[in-house]
Structure 1
């Protein structure tokens, strides 16, 4: 699902560019359609392989390392509902209600599991912030787009509270752990940039794109966190390509989305050139990642065919 989420994240960045630097909106539409297609295919596979059973869903939620990834499903749904709301506000609101409720249920169930010792067998990592912090912020942004200001304020408050509470626990655990995070989980360190990016987007969406001191505060948090991630790159890089590389995409694209909005709000000279540079760079990275993913998939299929022939 990180493929779908990352694609939607880039669609959001292009949507912001369409609203600020006259980028074509069709590019954003195409990315959200692609994200939706991947979302439908993967969700269908999950359901067919047992995901329709509540017991299996609970088992996946309680997985100490990957339980948070189920939040990808309603997050992509909320982003897509908000983007295409111009084609029918009432329908988008109903879709948002379904996905926002699902996101809330997943986050609450995860927190209930975690506070009763469900994470004792695994080290904490920033991926756990996605359902309890980033999802509420994304819900707030979508509610603002759908003209539901009261709901936007409510979900924004949830995101802030659990960012302060749970984010402190996760960061403290990382510092106290002294580098004990296993290598496969280290890419989740990039998720640290998602809360300030999505929180900043939610705040600006609630204030109709106007940049105030709180907006500058989110920008400062994001830029400082990006600096931390820059120093962590040697630790998060992988030895060879695999599908897990897509976990890097949403943090990068969400940050780009907020920075495009922030640059426009500052009114600084040259903001259009900087925004287009950011958008071009992340779009090129997305295309390269797509090409690498297709190549990896073909190699895996080829290897599987060889194994079958050998048998």
Structure 2
């Protein structure tokens, strides 16, 4: 399975270049992919771009933005092809579809930091794609409700936190009236959602339903 190969690659090296090489060398099937693979590749590159820009390393931020962008284009096409054409994801991996809005909003956040909060065609294009993926999330609500709470649900935390940050960038760039009040409302809603997810996670752990059960192997 691609998941096992990825884990082995991660143990050998933290370098995403090594991980990409493992994927190229491996005999993997399209049905084995899921959006969780955005996090160590696209997420790593784009977060590094934003962090580098915040530290004043403009050239490094440009390099890392390109790194994350190419990962997004490559993996995004693979993952959408998998979701469009293959059997539905196994139940534990269904919540990873919540990661689909993350690449455009994380890219937008990084670009805002790199350009000093300026609105231009890059962040506007990212916002357009993000809107599409957010609309997809609304259509997925009935599917998500059928999935028991498990670690996969924490995929929502990363994507929605990145989306909230992107919204705040947009409000500031547009110089919206009542910016501070609106920001407090958005941050309060996001915090409440995170607290609710954390509380439900604690309850599920306490009731021993949070982690998938692995069938015990009995000797004959």
The two structures have a TM-score, normalised by structure 1, of: 0.60
**Of the candidates 158, 181, 187, which is equivalent to residue 250 of structure 1?**
158
Whichever structure has more helix as a proportion of its residues is 1
CA contact (8 A) 1:62 1:110 kept: no
**Whole-Å Cα distance in 1 between the matches of residues 208 and 82 of structure 2?**
37
Aligned to 2:170: 262
| 1:180 CA drift (Å) | 2.9
Cα contact 1:186–1:236 (8 A) shared by 2: yes
Q: 1:243 to 1:175 in 2, by over 3 A?
A: closer
1:231-267: CA deviation from partner (whole Å, max 9, x where unpaired):
1222233443334322211111111111111111112
Partner of 1:125: 34
Residue 77 of structure 2: which of 165, 168, 174 is its match?
168
Q: How many residues align?
A: 207
Name whichever of 146-155 and 259-268 sits farther off. Answer: 259-268
Q: CA deviation at 1:142?
A: 0.7
How far did residue 200 of structure 1 move?
Answer: 0.5
Equivalent residues of 2:53, 2:113 under 8 A apart: yes
Of the three residues 100, 104, 107, the one matched with 1:192 is 100
- Greater relative CO, 1 or 2 (CA 8 Å, sep 6+): 1
Instruction: State the distance in 2 between where 1:203 and 1:131 align.
Output: 19
In structure 2, list runs of 5 or more residues that go unmatched.
210-220
Q: Tell me if the contact between 2:95 and 2:144 (Cα under 8 Å) persists in the aligned partners.
A: yes
The answer (yes or no) to whether the contact 2:111–2:123 under 8 Å persists in 1 is yes
Provide Cα deviations, 1:109-146, integer angstroms capped at 9, x if missing partner.
22111112253385221111222212100010111111
Q: Is the 8 A contact 2:96 2:152 kept in 1?
A: no
Is 1:63 the counterpart of 2:7? The answer is no
Task: Indicate which of 100, 121, 143 corresponds to 1:213.
Answer: 121
Which of 135, 139, 144 is the equivalent residue of 1:231?
139
CA offset digits 1:251-285 (Å, max 9, x no partner): 11111111111111112334444332221111111
Q: Does the CA-based 8 Å contact 1:187-1:237 persist in structure 2?
A: no
2: CA distance, partners of 1:243 / 1:123: 19
The whole-number CA distance in structure 2 between the counterparts of 1:265 and 1:234 is 35
What is the root-mean-square deviation of aligned Cα atoms in Å? 2.6
Change (3 A) 1:121 1:261: closer
Q: Deviations over 1:61-104 (max 9, x none)?
A: 9526x749x69xxxxxxxxxxxxxxxxxxxxxxxxxxxxxx75x
Partner residue, 1:144 = 53
Between the aligned partners of 1:244 and 1:218, the Cα distance in structure 2 is 25
